[in-house]
A and B are shown apart, each in its own frame.
Chain A
Amino acid sequence: MTHATLPTTSAPLPRRRNAQAIAPWLFLAPGLLFFLFYVIFPVFQSFNLSLYKWDGLGAPEYVGLKNYRDLGSDRAFETSLWNNFKWLVLYLLAIPGGLFIALFLNQTVTGIRLYKSLFFFPFVISQVVVGLVFTWFYDPTFGLLNILLGWVGLGPINVLGDPTLVTYGIIAAGLWPQTAYCMILYLTGLNAVDPEQVEAARLDGARSWRMLWFVIIPQLRPATFIAFVVTIIGALRSFDLISIMTNGGPFGSSRVLSFYMFEKALSEYGFRMGYGAAIAVVLFLIMLVFIAYFLWSMYREETGR
């Protein structure tokens, strides 16, 4: 800037414009390189690896689509896929559950803030600890669940030892922190609900259920969207709880794709990296449907503004 006579609205100097073109790339470089190196490239490497047979040590042997063909006749894969589906559907219960608790807690009485934080508590705890806690809760000899069932005259059940119940038992454990997360999203959303609209609807005679459905829930849309995103991702990523609570058992009946993949690729029974990668690719493709939908929603919002 040479002289004060230059009007401040003058076009930026060429050098400045240059700086503005280069600057974003300099700021992006470290983060972007790291991310490409550790996240984006590995995705493609896994795709490639799924076409090989590899024990992790020797030279990989190209087998084409054999791994995928083998998946078709693998009963354990079928079980895992089916369990993933159960996770996906039942995990969504966290959303209405969270909304319900949020509505229950959305009052102003003394100590309500502490109640809200304590209800949120399960989300902050590591899933490993949640898994341990629920393993004891379900324990057939001393678990609290069976004591409670005993009170109403129901026989002891061994949730984690029963192939038909085990996945539901683990999902229930997973719902505990997930519901807490959805609750906090909805509590924040409820805070921003327009009181005038609520008053107006009330004057029009809208009562609880109709009010909830037609006035409140539409205003909670952003919260619901995020709740969907995190719940679906959480469901497809479920690994910790299964590993801690049952290690896939009994008889592999509680495996999901993410766990089965880990087992195949890194278990003591020999590394089948290529086969594991093929399982991961299937999981990724399932996730891709949702990722594409999320990105599309975000894209519409970005360009809509």
Chain B
Amino acid sequence: MFPTPIEKAPRSWQLGYQGLLPVMLVAWLLPLIAVAMFSIKPDVDFTNGDYWGVPSRFAGFENYGKVFFESDMPRYLMNSVLITVPTVIGAVALSCMTGFALGIYRFRSNLWIFFMFVAGNFVPFQILMVPVRDLTLDLGLYNTKLGLVLFHVAFQTGFCTLFMRNFIRALPFELIEAARVEGVAEWRIFWYVVLPLMKPAIAALAVLIFTFIWNDYFWAVVLTQGAESQPVTAGITSFNAQYRAAYHLMSAGSIVAALPPVAMFFLMQKHFIAGLTLGAVK
């Protein structure tokens, strides 16, 4: 335990620590708290120049109501869901297989293929931008959700393979040996022996990829335009152009856009952190 557990410290230190915690938290989240407060203020507060005072009345319902019923926001949200969910399924499915192949079998190019996935995953997006945009145009998928999904699946496979392969490496190999001795076919070993053991890794990856893809902005701008296919991260900029200087609506819109990954994080916290910190301990 480091630093020294606070229970062993004098009573006054303990109280000081417990008092300091909320203060630090408020300071840390100050910009967010400000936005949350903006989003429930009525219009008139801003025109009066009263940005930071207590809201003159609670206008949360009308602000969020406008976001949901009088703007393109629901469409953007829907697009985000239709982009994110298939990507998660695709990337996790592909990487279960690649991770299995690289984690279980010994063959000469194994490590090189693994490193190719890892290196590709670190590449700056910009070097892919022009060719991938061209490819998507050629396939007739520019400005479609499918075009975005296909690229995301391919790119995320790099990270997911790294993750899955390391997870499978840590499984007891005797299980697979035993199954082989029993004469179980390779695909059955994958399906009935290894896959059930991978559930925690699948859960962790699914929440991570969900967050990554939901929050993607660069590819959304490069591969789509317009409300019919843009996800919410790109949509929020047009939303803001529409409500320029209407800070209460822009704040409400931002919060709506940010909420799904936040909800995902709080619901699946254990898996999320397990995924992010894989490899952080030996």
Contacts and interface: CB of A to CB of B under 8 A. Distances in A.
Interface residues of B, number: 100
Interface string A67-101: 00000000000000000000000000000000000
A121 B122 contact: no
A132 interface: yes
B262 interface: yes
A121 B32 contact: yes
Interface string B205-222: 000000100110110011
Interface size class, chain A: 35 or more
B219 to A, nearest CB: 10
- Best-buried of B7, B100, B126, B186 by chain A (most CB within 10 Å): B126
A125 interface: yes
Given A1-B183, A39-B128, A184 B273 contact: yes
B125 A237 contact: yes
A189 interface: yes
Interface string A8-50: 1000100010011101110110111011011111110110010
A170 interface: no
Contacts of B6: 107-109
B126 A280 contact: yes
A42 B128 contact: yes
Contacts of B69: none
Contacts of A287: 122-124
Contact of B34 (A136, A212, A216): A136
- Best-buried of B14, B38, B264, B281 by chain A (most CB within 10 Å): B281
A185 B272 CA distance: 12
Nearest to B6: A107
B125 A126 contact: no
A279 interface: yes
A127 B222 CA distance: 16
A42 B280 contact: no
- Best-buried of A23, A31, A280, A284 by chain B (most CB within 10 Å): A31
A240 interface: yes
A226 B280 contact: yes
Contacts, number: 285
Contacts of B17: 107, 109
Nearest to A271: B130
Given A19-B186, A126-B233, A32 B113 contact: yes
A39 B120 contact: yes
Looking at chain B's contact residues, is the secondary structure mostly helix, strand, loop, or mixed?
Answer: helix
Contacts of B25: 115, 118-119
A223 interface: yes
Interface of B: 1-3, 5-7, 14, 17-18, 21, 24-25, 28-32, 34-35, 38, 49, 51-52, 94-95, 97-98, 100-102, 104-105, 107, 110-111, 113, 115-120, 122-133, 135, 150-151, 153-155, 157-158, 161, 180-181, 183, 185-187, 190, 211, 214-215, 217-218, 221-222, 233, 236-237, 240, 247, 250, 254-255, 257-258, 261-262, 264-266, 269, 273, 276-277, 279-282
12 contacts: A34-B157, A39-B120, A39-B128, A42-B127, A42-B135, A45-B130, A107-B3, A108-B7, A185-B280, A273-B130, A283-B127, A298-B118
Interface of A: 1, 8, 12, 16, 19-21, 23-25, 27-28, 30-32, 34-35, 37-43, 45-46, 49, 103-104, 106-109, 112, 115, 117-122, 124-129, 132-134, 136-137, 142, 144, 147, 176, 181, 184-185, 188-193, 195, 198, 208, 211-212, 215-216, 222-223, 226, 229, 233, 236-237, 239-240, 243-244, 257-258, 261-262, 265-266, 273, 276-277, 279-281, 283-284, 287, 290-291, 294-295, 298-299, 302
